[in-house]
C-alpha cells in the first residue's frame, strides 16, 4: 500500500529523540465534543459507535482539529473498547454514563468463551478508517493508531462499564489471579493483532492507553498491567514503509513506574500532569522520549495563563531532544475551541525560539 510522502515528520523525529526545529504537539481526544463541527458530525452519524464504524465520517472528524490547529500528528478516531466489543460483549453508550457492556466477564466459563480478536475479520472498520485517514492527510502529518492496555480493557469488561473502585476485577485479581492472567493474555494477543493491523493499514506510530493502571499497587501493576504491555511491545511490527514505527506507553497515575516502563521496549512514555517533566526526564535519562504533560483543566483559563503554563513546562523540560507536547490526559468537552488555539499557538511560538 502506498501513501503520499510525509511532509512534517517532527512528531516521529521527537519520539526517536532526534533534533527538531520546535517541540511537536498533538492533544489526546483531539477530535471530540469540544468542537462544534464534531458534535454536528456525531449527530449526523446517529451515535458514537455509528460514527466510529462509518469510514467517511471517522475520517472527517479525525481531520477537523487539523483544520483549526497546527497539530503535528493526527490520531485515529475510534475507541479503546472496540476489542471487547469484537469479543462479543455488546458495547453501547448510555447518555451521561459512558460506555457499558451487555455481557460481563467474571467466571472461568466467561473467560474461556472469549475469543482472541482477528482484526481483519472482526474490526475491519477500524483498519478501513486508518487507510482512509492516511490518504486524506495527504502526507501533512503522521497518523497515530492506538489501543487500550489489557488491564484497562479488563476493568470495563469485568465491571460492565466505568468503575470507581474496580471491586469485581480486583476481587478476581486477588482471589483467582490465574483466571485474570488467562483473560489478560487473550487481550494482549488481541491488542498485538489489532495494533499490527493498524500499522499495516497505515498507522505511523501507536499509543497504548493504560488509563486505569494507576489504580494498582506497585506489585499488582507490574504483574497485571506492565507485564502485558511489555508482551504487546515485543509483538509489534516496529518498521513500516521503510521507517521505524514508534510505540508510546501511557499509564495515567503511573509516574512512580517511569523507570520500569522505560525498560519495556517502548520509544516514549506519556506523562499525566502529576509528575514534573524535568524529574521524569532525569529519571529515564536518554532511554525514551517523553510526551505531555499539561493539566487539561488549564484550558479553562485565559490565554495568558495557558501561555504561562506552556512556557513553564517547556522551560522544565529544557533544551533536550525527545519531547512531544500534549495534555496529561484527554481534553474535556466544555473547553472552548479558542482556548485550544491559544494552547497550540503558545507551544509553536515558544518552542520555536
**30 annotated ligand binder:** yes
**DSSP character string of 112-165:** HHPPPP-HHHH-HHHHHHHHHHHHHHTTSS-EEEEEE-HHHHHHHHHHSB--SS
31 marked as binding residue: yes
User: Taking Cα atoms as reference points, which of 183, 260, 271, 169 lies closest to residue 216?
Assistant: 169
Q: Is 283 marked active-site?
A: no
Q: How many CB atoms lie within 10 A of CB 311?
A: 15
242 a known binding residue? no
The CB density around residue 261, as the number of other CB atoms within 10 Å, is 26
**Among the residues of the chain, which ranges form H helices?**
10-15, 36-45, 48-53, 55-68, 82-84, 108-113, 119-122, 124-137, 150-159, 167-175, 177-201, 218-221, 227-235, 258-262, 277-284, 303-317, 337-352
Selected catalytic residue, list 42, 106, 134, 281: 42
- DSSP of 76-97, one letter per residue? ----TTHHHIIIII-EEEETTT
Place of cell 501513501: 3
Residue 156 falls in the annotated catalytic set: yes
Of 266, 256, 228, 76, nearest in space to 152 by CA: 228
Q: Is 163 annotated as a binding residue?
A: no
- Whether 17 is a known active-site residue: answer no
Distance between CA atoms of 261 and 65, rounded to whole angstroms? 30
**Alpha carbon separation from 91 to 99, 111, 161, 270 (Å, rounded):** 7, 17, 9, 27
Catalytic residue, chosen from 33, 39, 68, 287, is 33
Out of 39, 79, 110, 300, pick the active-site residue. Answer: 79
Nine-digit cell at 90? 455488546
Q: Does residue 234 have a known ligand-binding role?
A: no
Verify whether residue 185 is a known catalytic residue. no
Q: Is 29 a catalytic residue?
A: yes
Residue 32 counted as an annotated binding residue: yes
Bridge partners (DSSP) of residue 294 are: 327
Report how far residue 37's alpha carbon sits from residue 46's, in angstroms, rounded to the nearest whole number: 14
Return the closest-CA partner of residue 224 out of 207, 206, 212.
212
222 annotated as ligand-binding: no
Give the bridge partners for 251, in sequence order: 210
Annotated binding site for substrate: 29-33, 79, 156, 211, 329
Q: Catalytic residues, which ones?
A: 29, 33, 42, 79, 156
Q: Which residues fall in the annotated binding site?
A: 29-33, 79, 156, 211, 329
Amino acid at each position: 500500500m502506498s501513501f503520499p510522502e510525509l511532509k512534517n515528520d517532527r512528531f516521529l523525529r521527537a519520539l526517536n529523540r532526534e533534533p527538531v526545529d520546535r517541540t511537536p504537539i498533538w492533544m489526546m481526544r483531539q477530535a471530540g465534543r469540544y468542537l462544534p463541527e464534531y458534535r454536528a458530525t456525531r449527530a449526523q452519524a446517529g451515535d458514537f459507535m455509528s460514527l466510529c464504524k462509518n469510514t467517511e465520517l471517522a475520517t472527517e472528524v479525525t481531520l477537523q482539529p487539523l483544520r483549526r490547529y497546527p497539530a503535528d500528528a493526527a490520531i485515529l478516531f475510534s475507541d479503546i473498547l472496540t476489542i471487547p466489543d469484537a469479543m462479543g460483549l455488546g458495547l453501547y453508550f448510555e447518555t451521561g454514563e459512558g460506555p457499558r457492556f451487555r455481557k460481563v466477564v467474571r467466571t472461568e466459563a466467561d473467560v474461556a468463551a472469549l475469543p482472541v480478536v482477528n482484526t481483519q475479520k472482526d474490526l475491519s472498520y477500524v483498519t478501513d478508517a486508518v487507510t482512509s485517514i492516511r490518504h486524506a492527510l495527504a502526507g501533512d502529518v503522521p497518523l497515530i493508531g492506538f489501543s487500550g492496555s489489557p488491564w484497562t480493557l479488563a476493568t470495563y469488561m469485568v465491571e460492565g462499564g466505568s468503575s470507581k473502585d474496580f471491586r469485581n476485577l480486583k476481587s478476581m485479581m486477588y482471589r483467582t489471579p490465574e483466571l485474570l492472567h488467562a483473560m489478560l493474555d487473550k487481550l494482549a494477543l488481541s491488542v498485538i493483532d489489532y495494533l499490527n493491523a493498524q500499522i499495516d493499514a497505515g498507522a505511523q506510530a501507536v499509543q497504548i492507553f493504560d488509563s486505569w493502571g494507576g489504580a494498582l499497587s506497585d506489585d499488582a501493576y507490574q504483574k497485571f498491567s506492565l507485564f502485558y504491555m511489555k508482551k504487546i511491545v515485543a509483538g509489534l511490527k516496529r518498521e513500516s514503509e521503510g521507517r521505524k514505527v514508534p510505540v508510546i506507553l501511557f499509564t495515567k497515575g503511573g509516574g512512580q513506574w517511569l523507570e520500569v516502563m522505560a525498560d519495556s521496549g517502548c520509544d516514549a512514555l506519556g506523562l499525566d500532569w502529576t509528575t514534573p517533566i524535568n524529574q521524569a526526564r532525569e529519571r529515564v535519562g536518554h532511554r525514551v522520549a517523553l510526551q505531555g504533560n499539561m493539566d487539561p483543566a488549564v484550558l479553562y483559563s485565559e490565554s495568558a495563563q495557558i501561555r504561562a503554563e506552556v512556557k513553564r513546562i517547556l522551560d522544565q523540560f529544557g533544551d533536550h531532544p525527545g519531547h512531544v507536547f500534549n495534555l496529561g490526559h484527554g481534553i474535556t468537552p466544555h473547553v472552548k475551541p479558542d482556548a485550544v488555539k491559544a494552547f497550540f499557538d503558545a507551544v509553536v511560538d515558544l518552542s520555536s525560539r
